[in-house]
Structure formats: C-alpha cells, structure tokens
Amino acid sequence: MRILDSHLHLWDPARLTYDWLEGPLQARFAEAEVAQARRADDEHSAIFVQAGAAPEQFLLEAQWVASIAEATGVRGIVAGVPLDAGEATERDLDAVRQIPLVVGVRHLLQDEPAGLARTDAFLDGARALAARDLTFDACVRTVDQLHDVAALAAAVPDLRIVLDHLGKPAVGTAGAPEAPTAEWVAALRALAAHGRVFCKLSGLPAEAGGDWSPAQVAPFLDEALTAFGSERLMLGSDWPVSAVAASGSSEGGGAGVDADAIGGWTDAVATWAAARGIDVDAVMRANAERFYGLA
C-alpha cells in the first residue's frame, strides 16, 4: 500500500528542548525509530508536523527535520510559527519558507484560550500565511475551538486548513466506548461547510489512552466522512504520540510504545474506507498530496 502519513512527529531531546515530553515519549524518535515502526511491505512517506520544541527553536526544528527528510521519508514539513505576533509572524513565516520542504504552519491552538483564532492579530497572521501559499494545521481540544476554526475559515477563505485528529473528540476506550456527541458533530459539520478545510483521520488512539479498537473509532470516522466527504479526508498516524500503549504510564512505566502502532492504525483506516466503498488510495495518500501541494 502507498501511504502518505499526513501527521508524523520526530524529535530528539538531546538536540532540542521539548518541555512536554514524559514517560515513554521522553526518548529519541527519528530515523532509526520510524524505520522500525513502519511495515516493510508498505511504501511510506510522510508530512512532519511540528512537535512542540521550545518556541525559540522553531527554525532549528524545521532545519533538523529537513536534514533527515530523505532518511525518514518526509516530503513536507509543517513548522511551528505563532500567528498572532504581528511583524514577528511575518518575519518568521519568511524565514521558514527558506527551509526546504516547508509546506505549512501549525500554531498549536489546543492549549490556547478559546477565541484566539478570531482575534485581529491571529487573523492578520492567517492572511499572511495564505498570502505565502502555506497551509494551516488546526489542532484543538474543545467544541468552542472547532467553531473558532470555522470562523477563521470564513474570515480567511483563501487559507487551506486541515483539522488535526478530528478535533480530539472524547472517544472513550475499547471496553467503554463513547458515542460522538451532538455538539461535536454539529461543530464538525459547520467547519466542513468551508470547502478548503480538510480533516485528518488521526490521533484517536491517543485520545483513547492507547486502549482503542476499530469498532470504537468507526462512528467518529463515519461522522468525518459525512461532514467532509471522502475527498477531504487524509490518514495520519500521529506517531509516536498515538503509539503509547495502554499499559504505558505518564511516569514511564508499563509497556511503553506499541511497535506496530502505525500499521495498526493504517489497517483500521484502510479497512474502514474499503467497507464504506470510498477511494482507499485517496484517503491513504492522494488527498494529503493535493492538500499540501505535493501532487
């Protein structure tokens, strides 16, 4: 199977500073580790998404990933740039554009207050992003933030936006699954009404704490399909964040990282897509190529 993984993280704590890392994730995940995590019978390439290095290291992070892109199969880089910093945002966007393979930016919204993406400062940064033909990865945690991204899409219609991890809905666990809430479904559909917004089928294993099943996540994938249609969905592994096994702990105990997390999630999404009668190759590869301008 040809796979363009639209959401891959790489990091090396010996090279850059990642204050958020803990437990099994507090280790190096780079060339050798991702090679071991991929199944040999699949053809893999990936989009690297900024991994939360210290803010002042955003250029160093993108430059490091560009330097190992061939070894890791990275075809595109989504750099970390704050979009609400005025002239500094414009300078930073110009700087990252000089780095090979940079195709987009992520200002991590999930830990920001609701409403940030509606502010004048953020909208100015989003317009600067669109003017440079760079994409925006929207990673949010709440329904309010989903509505903020919909407002952003309306205010900056030229900006190509992709929703990370389906907006991080509460999914429960394999043994105690939760159903999609009406509030999340309504917010997802409101966002999908903007035709330049795509959605990543990614991150749900992490939302389940590593204890997930294909049957548990299928209702959420179905809602994404209803909202966005098959032509605006793309596979993302969220490796290694979504590879932390259910028995792993934030203190570093337990089983740690699932060695077949990429293959397991890829199989689940491909099987789901085939069962729904949609174009599996589009979801696994072609839609991400088109969104990130790699086709």
pLDDT tens digit string along 98-143? Answer: 999 999 999 999 999 999 999 999 999 999 999 999 999 999 999 9
pLDDT tens digit string along 20-50? Answer: 999 999 999 999 999 999 999 999 999 999 9
Please state the rounded mean pLDDT for residues 278-295. Answer: 97
Q: What is the C-alpha radius of gyration for the chain, rounded to an integer number of angstroms?
A: 18
Q: Is the pLDDT of residue 254 over 70?
A: no
Q: Is the pLDDT of residue 295 over 90?
A: no
Average pLDDT, the chain: 96
Residue ranges per domain, the chain? 2-291
pLDDT the model gives residue 25: 97
Topology of domain 2-291, CATH: TIM Barrel (3.20.20)
pTM: 0.96
